[in-house]
Structure 1
Amino acid sequence: MFGAPVVVREKDLILKKTLLLIDGSNFIFRAYHALPPLSTSTGTPTNAIRGFLSMLRVLMKDVPTDYVACVVDPKGKTFRSDIYPDYKANRPPMPEDLSVQIPLIFEGVQKEGIPFLQIPGIEADDTIGTLTKKAVAEGFNVVIATGDKDFAQLVNDNVLLVNTMGKDNSWLNSEGVEKKFGVPPEKIIDFLALMGDKIDNVPGVPKCGEKTAAKWITEFGSVDGVIENAEKVKGKIGENLRSALGFLPIARQLVTIKTDADLSAEVPSLESLKLKTPNRTELLDYYNKLEFRSWAKELKKTDVPGEVKPLETSTTAQKRAAVGAAPVEGDTLDLFSQEQESETERTLEIITDKAKAKELAAHLEDLVTKDGFEFYVLADGSSQQEYMPVGVAFGTTDGKTSYVPIDNDVLLAQGLTLGTFKEIFGRVLEHKKPIKCGYDTKYMKHVFANVGINLAGVSDDVMLESYVLEAHRSHTIEKLAANWLKYELRGEEELLGKGAKKLSFSQVSVEKAAEFASERVFIVSRLNRLFKKALSDDAKLEKIYRDIEMPLSDVLFKMEQNGVLIDTKLLDQQTAQLNTKARELEEQAFEVAGENFKLSSPKQLGEILFDKMGVVLEGAKPKKTISGNYSTSEEVLSELAENYPLAKIALEYRTITKLVTTYTEKLPKMVDPKDGRVHTTFEQAVAVTGRLSSTNPNLQNIPIRTEEGRKVREAFISASGCKLISADYSQIELRIMAHLSADKRLVEAFKNNEDIHRATAAEVFGKERDKVTPNDRRIAKVINFGLMYGMSPFGLAKNLGIGRDEAKNYINKFFARFPGVHDYMERTRALADRQGYVETTFGRRLWLPEIHAGGARRAAAERAAINAPMQGTAADLIKLSMIAVQKWIEEKGLKSKLILQIHDELIMEVPEAEVDLVKENLPKIMDSVTELHVPLIAEVGVGDNWEAAH
């Protein structure tokens, strides 16, 4: 990108006649991929139809005009196929569930009163190009709605591009095109010819991207100029250019949009492109047929019998659908149909006066008994233990926002001093009645805690609301504003900059900081209204939010504050030992290779392995990656390690050096000098399965299968007079599999506390339990865990090192003995296919956006569909345990504290006087958070360090 595009709102258009041309083919695929699968009660898929018509509703609101055409590509070949037979030859076949929706989309466009064009032999681009030229000649402005950059070649003083469904929400004029692509509209054809078009299978210059194409055109003027000066371009890209010279004139023909196609039969005049009044009865039948209940309900309310106004509304829900947000409850995009966009204007008051601040605090305290308020905090600092508040924005339901700057420069203060702020606002912020709403409030609790304010009474967190509703999407506040409110919210980078020149919030003007924070608090208020409505309409999701995610946020805050004590001297010793080991491995590698090289370089390792040593993978030298190098990924090296010593050495070297750079060398630098502890951040709204993740530092990925990895855990120690206690759910995902499948044999095995892998081996191999060999048990263990992750016979064969037929036989035997598991898997695949998501035992919704994709992507989505309910249920269980344990600690007044959560394991730091009490009660609490068909068992260990307690 060459800078932000120029944004031209509709109010900037010259108010003469405007023709809106909609790139329908582009919209169809965007609509299909934006929404998860939806279908009618009879099984007709409707996600693309619903998404497409929702997009049109948004567009018709954003571009008010009476002249419109929705244009789509025709079936069959066009003149470009005559020029280049391979044009569009690499396009995969249209997904079946989309192809059946296409006629219904076309029908819907026409019933909505929008002129529809699909002209045989003429691509949509050329139809739009021709209509654009004709309209400008007749005195129209033209707006082309598309996400396709090819149309930038048509932009001029009378032609704009609009991409209201994109993240820019922008209108591009000529200046905007040049800023976006680096070349003006009249050079776009040459620009596209140099780059080529992968989607349409138009070859360009290999490895020539936007920057290179723009640079060449700027330097040489055009494709012709580039061809004439090709010898001047040096390096590999120059070689690529010279290899493509013969095709560049053809590429230019292929990417040029025609503006002189014969449309006279279909469009005798532009008056034929005027919006039509829809027939109310026909449109209502169409909505009812596709079970679009909200639109049918809306239509029934129209006052004029038999007629309805052309499509012109744009509710929050429709805008949300248009930018790709998943529906919240099956086919109910009408969930927010009554929630019209607020007409309330946002007001802002900057409060630097002590008397005014007291008035605001009194008003906020008054809201404790009423609607509550929203808040947003700006802070500076590099870690959660150092964040300091710079200002706080408060918002109320009337649209009023107030920004209170905080400044400790007593002489030149631009706001309240920290002491004054605490004196005035501390009471209302610490009030425990749940009336406060924010975004990422766990972070804000740290900010306030660092200055002695114990933030309490948080009723809602829009980040967590979004996570519960749509875990698979981004939950940044900017994305939420765009997806749900179609609002372009400025990011921090826009205000503060980036890199070495990035400012802090205290370095920008109070006015700019105030506007930034108040805009966010206003968005928080709007989002919270929508999210609360969505959650209240789904009892299971609301329970996940209210009973798990919100209380867990407070537990995680306490754990992050607690931190974990680190033995830095031990880690320094381990670093020295590991570095010595790494040097020894390098020497071994040099000896095997017969020369010195950089073992840490994937490129050099690949060249040694595959070029010099002639190593083969599956009988042949592997192909190079897109970077031009051989892959030496962990997967590749693991396959080679058994037969090629250098691959085995390289794997071990990587493991050792990663331990050094990620843990033994890095962790001591992350210790807080105030308490000698490392304070990780638990990310609550990242993993789609509901699992927590750990960052800064990541403590969840310390390898435990190697001796060196386990030694790292020895550096996590207890404080003087304390022990570490670890509690880990035993075989939790297998137990959940037994619960979900309700397979009788599997359930009984767990109820009888049997060795589940031995029990499986006995069933699969038809042996008595005491006759099962260690190898039998090993195979059964691989089968148990493999099937949980949807492993195929090929995967099992590869894992066990056996033939595919033998692996298939093992799987067949397993399913014959555990038919409930097979039935569960088949039911789950069908359910995922039908509704686009699966659920945990507790009702957490796990979306599968790729479930209707083709080939490997669909297969991966089906595997995820089987495993996600198990991972997600396990995540819910450990979260419920954390909440229950923290509640027990507080009720008993104990000094013990939770310090870490790693997958299915909880780690506590416990005073020696409380060890016996915690050791006895911790597993009881964890085992009783819910009832499954099989017992939950938490195993407990005690030690002076994490490894010893495990």
Structure 2
Amino acid sequence: TDAPITLELDACLTQDFDAQSVLELFHELEFRSLTTMLRDKVDAEEILVDHTPSQPPTETKVIRSEKELAALVKELNSAKTISFDLETTGLDKMSADIVGICLAVKPPAAYYIPVGHLAGAAQSASGQMSLFATTAQLAPDQLPLSTVMEALRAPLTNPNIAKIAHNAKFDYTIFDRHGLTVTPITFDTMIAEWLTDPGSKHKGLKDLARHRLGVEMTDIEKLIGKGAAQKSFAEVSIDEAAPYGAADADMTLRLQSPLRNEIREKGLEKVLDLEMPLVPILSAMEQAGVGVDVTFFRQMAQDLEARLQALERSIYEIAGEPFNINSTQQLSDILFQKMGLPVEGLRKTSSGYYSTAANVLDGLQDADSTGIIQALLEYRELGKLKSTYVDALPEMINAQTGRIHTSFNQTGAITGRLASSSPNLQNIPIRSEVGQQIRRGFVSRPGWLFLAADYSQVELRILAHVSQDAALLEAFRQDQDIHRTTAAAVYGIDVGAVTYNQRRFAKAVNFGLIYGMGAFRLARDSELTLSEAENYIKEYFGRFPGIRRYLDETKETAKKQGFVETLLGRRRYFPVFQTQAGGHNRQAWLRAEREAINHPIQGTAADIIKIAMLRLYNALVDGNYQAQMLLQVHDELLLEVPEAEIEVVKALMVDIMSNAFKLDVPLKVEASLGANWLELKE
């Protein structure tokens, strides 16, 4: 405290500064924590007010009478574009009811049509809660939903009036469930933001308005609260709800212009034209749902519980005492203190115990002569499958439809792949016997069958096209077993002499290279030594020089222009290559190189199956088929088809998928049929 230091508090105030320059300096000095803090702060506070004209506030107009509704419909019918949004009782697309309808055609005016506010939320002119309102009643001064829907039908289904929304699929689905199919949906501001920057943190409407327009919108939690005290939007007063809802439609409309301009500047029109027609298709898939055999899952849950109890007894017997297997601390004590398993190279947790993570246990198998490690790994796997799928799936069945309705997220993956959630039906494990049995529980209706078709080795075929490697092109054109052909080329032997292990190694390299795999990873995955793996990859590139050239050129392109593209023009950006500091973070740099190699391939695969989905769906509608598209799982499409339509729909599906995109090698499609998802046969 006696150090001769003078501190002027005024000098400690932060001034405006160049955030990017400071970030680069922090990178150079390896100030990792400060780098993270500054980046988060910049992201959180990034408001483009300086670059955006001042935005006037939304002028909210509440529609309460049929006369006002008629005037609005007249305006809508003469509009070129209608921005729409719904306020609902919840976020479950299959059960949510409409509380308010939000519309805008020209900023700053926007309309709010209340249709589902409860009387308990109604307020008198003095602002006091009505003493006579009950939550069993609708608030006064609201038009009947049926009246509003019928009035809006003409403008919202007019093919000559463009419809735009933010996260359009949700609002489209709610409208569709209530008997009004909005068409055409030409623009979704969430999808557009994702296309312009797939890694954007501003996909939510509130964030996007702040980021693009410099407008601070009201957070939903200010109206409905949060946590246990959160209420339904139906309980919000109309006076509070109207400005909130109207602003949603207004800001969506205002965002269209800057986003469209950027889409055009970046040459993303083709990708946008692919994504937008998918919105109603994905909605139809979600609403169709998939059938589930509840009895099967209940029995499977009992069988797994019996296996888990048997494993538990076995683990206790080996350990010599009962303990909480799910407690990492107790398990660590048993394994490393009592049983003396080796701890060399193992990290400790923040609690001071050695880690018992899955990869740690897996690495201990060779040192374990008791069998406890194998039992623990099986116990964990079965427990996770039981809780995540076997127990959970029956609880997710919709009471009205008797089916499970997943959600498909178009903006969930940077590569363009669709993501599935609630539940995630793309991630059901199929390598283990138990994982496979879970698929058996997904069943078709009586008189219908599942029809699945998937692209065979589509990413390798795209690799052949983009690399123009002569040997790889020829192998696919001759419909050869690509992994066997690769092994024969690398080992310098006849195709017929390739062993199982040689083919397995070749397969690991073929697919691994798409994801930027190096010699270390190949050695780990294939049981080769590091030297053998290095020699194998060297020999591989000697036989397939076009692939080596593609990998090098793609990495160079990413570093030079900061992004790579799919064949359709879908971009992925790599900011790490655009800063001098990027080279100082070797792991981030190498990861970006791997992602740059992968994106044109995996992203093109995503584009191709989306093209196929669009064409197949339209063909089914145009042909008046009953067949329904249910799921998209990576390179596979799953339909549910009446038995009478099987042959014609199968031929149609294979033809459309095979010709979805013109590559320099054929797109090969394999179709299969079955009464459940597991037992699909050609």
Question: TM-score, structure 1 length as denominator?
Answer: 0.65
Counterpart-to-counterpart distance in 1, 2:175 and 2:82: 17
Of 627, 630, 641 in structure 2, the residue corresponding to residue 910 of structure 1 is: 641
- Among 594, 598, 601, which residue is 1:863 paired with? 594
Deviation, structure 1 residue 621 = 4.8
Q: Any gaps of 5 or more consecutive residues in structure 1?
A: 1-18, 34-47, 49-74, 76-87, 96-146, 150-162, 170-313, 320-339
Determine what percentage of the aligned residue pairs are the same residue: 35
Which of 445, 450, 461 is the aligned partner of 2:188?
461
Distance in 1 (alpha carbons) for counterparts of 2:25 and 2:77: 48
Q: Which residue of 2 aligns with 1:509?
A: 237
Are residues 439 and 729 of structure 1, via their aligned partners in 2, closer, same or farther at CA, if it must alter by over 3 Å? same
* Equivalent of residue 361 in structure 1, options 51, 55, 73: 73
Contact 2:483 2:506 in 1 (8 A): yes
Q: Is it true that 1:420 corresponds to 2:142 in the alignment?
A: no
Quote the offset at 1:627 in angstroms: 5.0
Alpha-carbon contact 1:364-1:428 (below 8 Å) kept: yes
Aligned amino acid, residue 352 of structure 1: R
Contact 1:387 1:450 (8 Å CA) reproduced: no
Distance in 1 (CA, whole Å) between partners of 2:361 and 2:561 is 39
Compared with structure 1, are the counterparts of its residues 26 and 629 closer, same or farther at alpha carbon in structure 2 (3 Å cutoff)? farther
Deviation at 1:586, TM superposition (A): 1.5
Q: Counterpart of 2:85? A: 376
Does residue 352 (structure 1) correspond to residue 76 (structure 2)? The answer is no
User: Aligned partners of 1:384 and 1:824: how far apart in 2?
Assistant: 44
Contact 2:557 2:564 in 1 (8 A): yes
Among 277, 292, 302, the residue aligned to 1:551:
277
Q: CA deviation at 1:580?
A: 1.1
Q: Quote how far apart the aligned CAs of 1:431 are.
A: 2.6
Query: Equivalents in 1 of 2:24, 2:256: separation in Å?
Result: 26
**Alpha-carbon shift at residue 920 of structure 1 (Å):** 1.7
Contact 2:341 2:367 in 1 (8 A): no
Partner of 2:134: none
Does the 8 Å CA contact 2:185/2:277 hold for their aligned counterparts? no
Aligned: 1:449 with 2:176 = yes
Q: Could you tell me how far apart the structure 2 residues matched to 1:662 and 1:515 are?
A: 41
Q: Aligned runs of 1:43-54 on 2, under 5 Å?
A: none
Which of 528, 534, 553 aligns to 1:808? It is 534
**Residue 585 of structure 2 corresponds to residue 873 of structure 1:** no
Partner of 1:537: 265
**Per-residue Cα deviation, 1:777-828 (whole angstroms, up to 9, x for no partner):** 1111111122221111111111112211111011101011011111111111
Aligned partner of residue 935 in structure 1, secondary structure: coil
Distance 1:589 1:343, change over 3 A: closer
CA spacing shift, 1:773–1:165, aligned 2, 3 Å = closer
1:777 aligns with 2:503: yes
Q: Higher relative contact order at CA 8 Å, sep ≥6: structure 1 or structure 2?
A: 2
2:561 pairs with 835, 838, 845, which one?
A: 835
Q: CA deviation at 1:30?
A: 4.5
Alignment root-mean-square deviation, CA = 2.7
Aligned equivalent of 1:893, options 617, 624, 644: 624
C-alpha distance after superposition, 1:324-348 (max 9, x if no partner): xxxxxxxxxxxxxxxx525544211
Matched to 1:751, the amino acid is R
When residues 607 and 855 of structure 1 are mapped into structure 2, their CA distance, relative to the original with a 3 A threshold, is: farther
1:350 to partner: Cα distance: 1.3
| Correspondence for 1:637 | 361
- Cα pair distance change 1:518/1:412, threshold 3 Å: closer
User: What secondary structure does 1:949 align onto?
Assistant: coil
Offset at residue 365 of structure 1 (A): 1.1
Counterpart of 1:524?
252
Moved over 6 A (4+): 92-95, 408-411
Q: 589-598 vs 508-517, which deviates more?
A: 589-598
| Partner residue in 2 for 1:652 | 378
Whether the aligned pair in 2 keeps the contact of 1:407 and 1:416 (CA below 8 Å) is no
Structure 2 residue 294 is the aligned partner of structure 1 residue 568: yes
Give deviations 1:366-385, integer Å, cap 9, x for gaps: 21xxx322122101135211
Partner AA of 1:357 in structure 2: L
- Write the distance in 2 (CA, Å) between the matches of 1:867 and 1:726: 26
2:197 to 450, 466, 470: 470
Residue 525 of structure 1 aligns to a residue whose secondary structure is helix
Pick the aligned partner of 1:923 from 647, 651, 654. Answer: 654
Task: From the CA coordinates, give the structure whose radius of gyration is larger.
Answer: 1
Counterpart CA distance in 2 for 1:632 and 1:740 is 43
Deviations along 1:514-560, whole A, 9 cap, x unmatched? 11112222211221110111112233x111001x1001111101101
Q: Structure 2 vs 1, CA of residues 640 and 835 (structure 1 numbering), >3 Å: closer, same or farther? A: farther
Q: Which residue of the other structure, out of 100, 124, 133, is the alignment partner of 1:391?
A: 100
| Cα separation, 2, equivalents of 1:411 and 1:551 | 36
Deviations 1:834-874 (CA, angstroms, capped at 9, x unpaired): 22221112110012344425121211111111112221111
CA separation of 1:416 and 1:627: change in aligned 2, threshold 3 A: farther
Q: Secondary structure at the match of 1:906?
A: strand
Q: Report the number of matched residues.
A: 644
Matched with 1:705 is 431
Q: Against the structure 1 CA distance between its residues 411 and 834, is the aligned structure 2 distance closer, same or farther, given a 3 Å change threshold?
A: closer
**CA 1:847–1:593 in structure 2 vs 1: closer, same or farther (change >3 Å)?**
farther
Q: CA deviation at 1:315?
A: 7.1
2:674 pairs with 1:943: yes
CA, structure 1 residues 603+385, in 2 after alignment: closer, same or farther (shift >3 Å)?
Answer: same
Q: What is the distance in 2 between the residues matched to 1:637 and 1:359?
A: 69
C-alpha separation between the residues in 2 aligned to 1:93 and 1:712? 43
CA displacement 1:883-928 (0-9 Å, x = unmatched): 1110110111100010011111000000000001122221111010
Q: Quick one: structure 1 residues 878 and 629, their matched pair in 2 at CA, closer, same or farther if it must change by over 3 Å? A: farther
Change (3 A) 1:653 1:21: closer
Higher mean alpha-carbon deviation, 670-679 vs 19-28, is at: 19-28
Q: Which moved more, 1:675-684 or 1:829-838?
A: 829-838
1:681-760 alignment to 2 at 5 Å?
681-760=407-486
> Who is 1:301 aligned against?
none
Partners of 1:411 and 1:871 lie apart in 2 by: 50
Residue 654 of structure 1 deviates from its aligned partner by 1.8
Whole-Å separation in 1 of the counterparts to 2:392 and 2:67: 48
Alignment-derived partner of residue 187 in structure 1: none
1:490 aligns with 2:218: yes
Question: Could you tell me whether the CA contact under 8 Å between 1:684 and 1:693 is conserved in 2?
Answer: yes
Look up the match of 2:124: none
Report if aligned partners of 2:107, 2:254 keep a CA contact under 8 Å in 1.
no
How far off its partner does 1:634 sit?
2.7
With over 3 angstroms needed to count, the CA separation of the structure-2 counterparts of 1:615 and 1:25, relative to structure 1, is: farther
Partner in structure 1 of residue 131 of structure 2: none
Structure 2 CA distance for aligned equivalents of residues 691 and 830 of structure 1? 25
Asked if the contact 1:641–1:647 (Cα under 8 Å) also holds between the matched residues in 2, the reply is yes
With over 3 angstroms needed to count, the CA separation of the structure-2 counterparts of 1:94 and 1:419, relative to structure 1, is closer
Supply the distance in 2 between the matched residues of 1:870 and 1:458 (Cα, whole angstroms): 29
Which ranges of structure 2 fall in alignment gaps of 5 or more residues?
1-11, 119-136
Matched AA of 2:360: V
Letter in 1 for 2:649: V
Any idea what SS the aligned residue of 1:381 has?
coil
**What residue number does 1:406 align with?**
115
CA contact (8 A) 1:680 1:695 kept: yes
Paired amino acid for 1:633: A
The amino acid that maps onto 1:943 is G
Distance in 2, matches of 1:94 and 1:716, equals: 49
Deviations 1:265-324 (A, max 9, x none): xxxxxxxxxxxxxxxxxxxxxxxxxxxxxxxxxxxxxxxxxxxxxxxxx976x64xxxxx
Kindly state the Cα deviation for residue 747 of structure 1 after the two structures are TM-superposed: 1.0
In the TM superposition, what are the counterparts of 1:182-193 in structure 2 within 5 Å? none
Q: Where do residues 75-94 of structure 1 align in structure 2 (5 Å cutoff)?
A: 91=31
Counterpart of 1:749, as a letter, is A
**Matches of 1:25 and 1:591 in 2, distance apart?**
63
Whether 1:439 aligns to 2:166 is yes
Q: Of residues 658, 667, 672 in structure 1, which corresponds to 2:398? A: 672
